[in-house]
Amino acid sequence: MYWSKSHPNSDLMTGDIEPGLQQSIHRFLNSEGESIATDMEQSFTSYNSNLEHEYHNKFIPLNVVPERTGTQKQKSHSEKVHSAKKIIFSPKKRRDSAQLKKHLRQTENRANDLVRQSTNSFTRGLMPLVDYNLALKIAFDTKIEVAEIQKSKQNKGFLLEQKQQLIQQAVEQLQEFDQPASQGWYGDLVHAKLLLAQNQYEIARVNQDRDAQQFALEAISKNSAEYYAIRNIEAQVGEADLSEYRRALSSVNNANQELDLFYQNTKNDTASFETYERRLEEIKTDINWMASNGAGLGRADLLDLSKAHLSYAKGKYSLNNNRKGRSQELFTESMQYAKAAWNLRANQYYPAGTASLHDVTSSWLMWKAAGTELADLKTADSQSIDKELNIGLDQMLNLADSIRDRRGRLDSDVSLVHCLKNSEKLSDYKRKLSD
């Protein structure tokens, strides 16, 4: 609708003009009006298009990956305006996304701190190999989870390669300790080689390289058998504690399970597990005997953890044999024993100075492992289990933050607790995004 045709005083403006000239003027005004209207419409479309483009550059929800195909139809002008308004006026989504980005950045930074501090402690001889391996596992598992959420170029294989380099450095460092006074040195070296082979197996599995998997499995089987043989002899002469012996025993059992999975051996190796179970029972009996004779190695938390490990192993075996009812009972026992050990360490031994922050953390991890297995069976109240675990983790966080003198390895132990807390928060964010 043009002003030259609808203006109430148009007759007054053209009344004294000759008819030919009047037609020319009307044609001119019509063409100008159409040009102006076209320009206004294009400007309005361009403005909304620029508005949408500028917004998408500033904000893309992390849980939404838009698909663009060559056959996809262009959105109409009204659809673009509606889409832009819908995104712009969603402050809750924008706030949740900003909080998630901030938490991801904090979590990754804390994991990097844990890698750096634990490597420094191990290199200086302030941290044993088993504790260093635990710190690397927690840190890199966290970094992998962050990278998967961010869809980062640092994928799982890339991060596992970084971990591989650190374990290789540990092997080389341990090789330099070949001295007569280095008690337990060779067992640590074989254990480090076992960890190297296990990580190489994970890399090969991510890369779907079956030949590399087979090669790594052969190294795992060889090193786990040698590791157990060394720790068995050391335990008999009192050079290795029972927890180290149990760790070597578990490595053989885990290697056998991986071999069965790789070669798709569906036949249950009952004899192998019965041997494993019998030796775990012997460890529990030995600790119980020490406890009855007042020895420090028979302390109540160590006895509870021994029972927790035994019940957990039995629960895994029952689960693999599709006996869910029995596995539920065993995982419940394991969780209760591990929780009892954690309570003793956090509330009695740590305040008295007879347990370290790392001791408290390791018992919490055993508690969490059993609780996770129990929750995965869908037969228990997973929310109540998670609530108790989070309460325990918050208590550990308070213990960690109360430490002022962080010389030695304490920086790494504190970062380990913070890394666990950030990882738990990350799991909560993921659950919210999936709802």
Q: What does the pLDDT profile of the chain (435 residues) look like in tens digits?
A: 434 444 444 443 444 445 554 555 455 445 544 544 445 444 444 444 444 444 444 433 433 334 444 444 444 544 544 444 444 435 555 556 777 788 888 899 999 999 999 999 999 989 999 999 999 999 999 999 998 888 776 689 999 999 999 999 999 999 888 776 677 788 999 999 999 999 999 999 999 999 999 999 999 999 999 999 999 998 888 787 888 999 999 999 999 888 888 887 766 667 788 888 888 888 888 888 888 887 777 899 999 999 999 999 999 989 888 888 899 999 999 999 999 999 999 999 999 999 999 999 999 999 999 999 998 887 667 888 989 999 999 999 999 999 988 888 999 999 999 999 999 888 877 776 665
For residues 285 and 279, give the distance between their C-alpha atoms in angstroms, rounded to a whole number: 10
**pTM of the entire predicted model:** 0.75
Report CA dihedral (140, 146, 148, 152) to the nearest 10 degrees. -100
Sign of CA dihedral 349, 352, 355, 360: positive
How many Å apart are CA 239 and CA 287, to the nearest integer? Answer: 16
Report the distance separating Cα 315 and Cα 4, nearest Å.
Answer: 89
Closest CA to 290 of 251, 332, 238: 238
Alpha helix (H) residue ranges in 321-381:
324-344, 350-352, 357-376
Q: Are 136 and 166 within 8 A, CB to CB?
A: yes
Alpha-carbon distances, residue 396 vs 301, 326, 381, 385 (angstroms): 17, 32, 23, 17
Residue 265 CB contacts under 8 Å (≥ 6 apart), including other chains: 259
